[in-house]
Structure 1
Amino acid sequence: MAHVPQIKIPATYMRGGTSKGVFFRLQDLPEAAQVPGAARDALLLRVIGSPDPYGKQIDGMGGATSSTSKTVIISKSSKPDHDVDYLFGQVSIDKAFVDWSGNCGNLSAAVGPFAISAGLVDPGRIPHNGVAVVRIWQANIGKTIIGHVPITDGAVQETGSFELDGVTFTAAEVQLEFLDPAAEEEGVGGAMFPTGNLIDDLDVPGVGTLKATMINAGIPTIFVDAEAIGYKGTELQDAINSDDKALAKFETIRAHGAVRMGLIKHIDEIATRQHTPKVAFVARPAGYVASSGKQVAATDVDLLVRAMSMGKLHHAMMGTAAVAIGTAAAIPGTLVNLAAGGGERQAVRFGHPSGTLRVGAEASQVDGEWVVKKAIMSRSARVLMEGWVRVPGDTF
């Protein structure tokens, strides 16, 4: 009986922020997977171990959560004044689906370190000691990210004393700048607020009419007040993820918000768009115990935020959603801004299930439209394993 042998593909398994993913150089992928399409999706699904009806991804590199079911493809940039192109694929756990509709802000922190180590950045741009500035073209959303990568003795520095809530160990700090973060989604152009309003009345059947701030910045995000949907904003994962009715409610809010934002034409299309938009709920500061046991005092934060990712409450905060939070907080009158106390501000520290995070953004009005030139936050990144990932030869 003939057996199909496995093939091996050069790959690096990396943590970036509070996420993990499998990184590839485009040139290392099998030829059929070097272009978008069914072959690429099939390969990445098999690498991660999806679709898995058991929901565990035992036969792949995925970790059975939205934060650990991720893939990244990096290549030398085709854009002027950029070093690399960065393409992110969010792999569904239980469905044969790779969502290419958005970015991963957490894994963005690992792109610069990977690109340098993989020889994709001009050596002349890398100091022997200091900080390398890596110009990243985020191909999913057509935006620029600037990564500030620490370099020691000519190599990427990965260890350090930077603490990131949601990550157990310290590492070197990687500062990220998300330039002009308002997303340019099909049907909504470059509008930061696709409805034209800072707050809308969003009619959600079975839930009611909710006040919502719907914003395209970092990633399309629908913000609602925690109290309006029966929460306090101090909830941890188990309070939401063990409640099937709550999960269904959030998905319904997401679907109807996506229609209002012009991301889909009908709520039935939301099944083909699992990664975006995100849904988050906000509340004024309050004390709580984070998932690690860390005590977060009301005085430690400007507001509380909890966000859904791929149908579950995120264990910390998605990096792209943090950009949306920082951007919305900088614009007086949004739900996020009001939860933080209102007024003008250039940075906020918000509480999430794993602790706190600070993100900055500067907003201004141009011809009556709100614009944000950049949002800034710090993450960390580290190589966990490198070598080859193997998949059966008949995968794609």
Structure 2
Amino acid sequence: MTIKKVHSPQIKVPATYMRGGTSKGVFFNLTDLPVAAQIAGKVRDSLLLRVIGSPDPYQKQTDGMGGATSSTSKTVIVDKSNEPDHDVDYLFGQVAIDKPFVDWSGNCGNLSAAVGSFAISSGLVDPSRVPDNGIAVVRIWQKNISKTIIAHVPMTNGEVQETGDFELDGVTFSAAEVQVEFMDPADGEGAMFPTGNLVDDLVLPTDIVSSGSVKATMINAGIPTIFINARDLGYSGAELQEAINSDQAALSMFETIRAYGAVQMGLIKHIDEAAARQHTPKIAIVAAPIDYVSSSGKAIDKEDIDLNVRALSMGKLHHAMMGTAAVAIGTAAAIPGTLVSQAAGNVERESVLFGHPSGTLKVGAQASQVAGQWKVNKAVMSRSARVLMEGWVRVPTDVLDC
């Protein structure tokens, strides 16, 4: 007699699928998660991996909500905040595509634009702070990096206003503008420049760069980021995704540089640890303005931008620009002497307009020196956000058996 195996049923978890900036992710109210997943640990990670559809050796995430890119393999957990003068806590999980791993080491700047909207619509913001018409100011505590984000969410007739005329390069359709302020954006604790230098010699194996080192600006702002001059790696700074993502040798080179930079920044102790910290640091190449045609076919005139930047996320060249990396760009551009500032003309500025693969983006930042240390009070950029679907995600109950 053959005994039929009994498979576990699926459970339903309330969730909202949202676009924020040039990213998409699955949003959860903390209290809607299964009790065992309401605390950090293996059960939570197992649940989120299954929701997104990872690990997937085919790298398609077909059996989940992920879109098989770093921009679409994301999760967000929001809860009422106990922090003074904050409305909600925001926790971001970057889900690896082909590995059983959720990276909690940094923020997602793009999805930050959707947190305020989600919080209001979910009833997590005190109604007295939300006008029927006008702008709701949502004070967000970013738990990954212990920083404050202020989202300015437009409201119409008591509802979040999502449609509008604001256009964001990298997003097909226009939407309502959401201004996002990243307060005191130096990431985590310690100095904005962890090595104490605006520019370092990043020591690398000679099979990566023949000279054995490359100039780099390593900054903790928005998200830990390593900036390198594009020309030092054989690039123009105007590349689109295919030029780098189709080149496995190039991707391997960038990952090696990222690992060595992470050690020099003090984020990890050995380069082998970089594989378990995919979300941070980011690595980007910078160049003086040059003409190029964006991925949408839009002509970008060098006279209309301050510099070109190309950044990698989760091992691939990003199709536009990560929001947190944009904060790092704006911050570094405001500090004369960094490689970003040099590419942009090395002049004092309070905002910078840079070119990326999908078009352009403007970000503002004001820098000053306090007791010999550089400080930026806030970085500001405009994004947009929209609910794509809401209801429940379903996952097999065995994901909770960790």
Q: TM-score if structure 2 supplies the norm length?
A: 0.97
Gapped regions of structure 1 (runs ≥ 5)? none
Match of 1:230 in 2: 234
Residue 159 of structure 2: which of 133, 152, 155 is its match? 155
Match of 2:141 in 1: 137
Match of 2:91 in 1: 87
Task: Work out the CA distance in 2 between the residues paired with 1:125 and 1:204.
Answer: 52
Match of 1:171 in 2: 175
* Corresponding letter in the other structure for 1:28: D
Kindly indicate whether residue 208 of structure 2 is the aligned counterpart of residue 207 of structure 1.
Answer: yes
**1:232-381 to 2 correspondence within 5 Å?**
232-381=236-385
User: C-alpha offsets along residues 294-347 of structure 1, whole Å, 9 cap, x if unaligned?
Assistant: 110101110000000000000000000000000000000000000000121000
Residue 71 of structure 1: which of 75, 80, 91 is its match? 75
Residue 105 of structure 1: which of 105, 109, 114 is its match? 109
Task: Work out the CA distance in 2 between the residues paired with 1:115 and 1:42.
Answer: 24
Task: Quote the offset at 1:242 in angstroms.
Answer: 0.3
**1:66 counterpart SS class:** coil
Task: Work out the CA distance in 2 between the residues paired with 1:118 and 1:190.
Answer: 35
Over the aligned positions, Cα root-mean-square deviation in angstroms equals 0.5
Task: Quote the offset at 1:3 in angstroms.
Answer: 2.6
Moved more, 108-117 or 2-11: 2-11
Task: Work out the CA distance in 2 between the residues paired with 1:270 and 1:235.
Answer: 25
* Corresponding letter in the other structure for 2:353: R
Match of 2:387 in 1: 383
Moved more, 206-215 or 140-149: 206-215
Match of 1:393 in 2: 397
Task: Quote the offset at 1:393 in angstroms.
Answer: 1.1
Task: Work out the CA distance in 2 between the residues paired with 1:121 and 1:114.
Answer: 10
**1:147 counterpart SS class:** strand
Task: Work out the CA distance in 1 between the residues paired with 2:197 and 2:41.
Answer: 37
Task: Work out the CA distance in 2 between the residues paired with 1:152 and 1:322.
Answer: 29
**1:71 counterpart SS class:** strand
Task: Quote the offset at 1:207 in angstroms.
Answer: 2.0
**2:114 counterpart SS class:** helix
Match of 1:5 in 2: 9
* Corresponding letter in the other structure for 1:207: I
Task: Work out the CA distance in 2 between the residues paired with 1:299 and 1:119.
Answer: 46
The ranges of structure 1 where at least 4 consecutive aligned residues each deviate by more than 3 angstroms after the TM superposition are none
Match of 2:190 in 1: 190
Match of 1:126 in 2: 130
How many aligned residue pairs are there? Answer: 392
Percent sequence identity over aligned pairs: 76
Task: Quote the offset at 1:190 in angstroms.
Answer: 2.2
* Corresponding letter in the other structure for 2:81: S
User: C-alpha offsets along residues 328-370 of structure 1, whole Å, 9 cap, x if unaligned?
Assistant: 0000000000000012100000000000000000000011110
**1:20 counterpart SS class:** strand
**2:71 counterpart SS class:** helix
Task: Work out the CA distance in 1 between the residues paired with 2:133 and 2:203.
Answer: 55
Task: Work out the CA distance in 1 between the residues paired with 2:304 and 2:22.
Answer: 20
Task: Work out the CA distance in 1 between the residues paired with 2:102 and 2:289.
Answer: 36
Gapped regions of structure 2 (runs ≥ 5)? none
Moved more, 106-115 or 203-212: 203-212
Match of 2:27 in 1: 23
**1:324 counterpart SS class:** helix
* Corresponding letter in the other structure for 2:254: F
Task: Quote the offset at 1:239 in angstroms.
Answer: 0.2
Task: Work out the CA distance in 2 between the residues paired with 1:36 and 1:138.
Answer: 15
**2:384 counterpart SS class:** strand
* Corresponding letter in the other structure for 2:193: F
Task: Work out the CA distance in 2 between the residues paired with 1:23 and 1:213.
Answer: 34
Q: TM-score if structure 1 supplies the norm length?
A: 0.99
Residue 41 of structure 2: which of 25, 37, 53 is its match? 37
Task: Work out the CA distance in 2 between the residues paired with 1:207 and 1:348.
Answer: 31
* Corresponding letter in the other structure for 2:385: A
**1:140 counterpart SS class:** coil
Task: Work out the CA distance in 2 between the residues paired with 1:378 and 1:320.
Answer: 13
Kindly indicate whether residue 51 of structure 2 is the aligned counterpart of residue 47 of structure 1.
Answer: yes
* Corresponding letter in the other structure for 1:210: V
Task: Quote the offset at 1:66 in angstroms.
Answer: 0.2
**1:90 counterpart SS class:** strand
Task: Work out the CA distance in 1 between the residues paired with 2:250 and 2:367.
Answer: 34
* Corresponding letter in the other structure for 1:319: G
Task: Quote the offset at 1:269 in angstroms.
Answer: 0.5
User: C-alpha offsets along residues 13-59 of structure 1, whole Å, 9 cap, x if unaligned?
Assistant: 00000000000000000000000000000000000000000000000
Kindly indicate whether residue 15 of structure 2 is the aligned counterpart of residue 14 of structure 1.
Answer: no
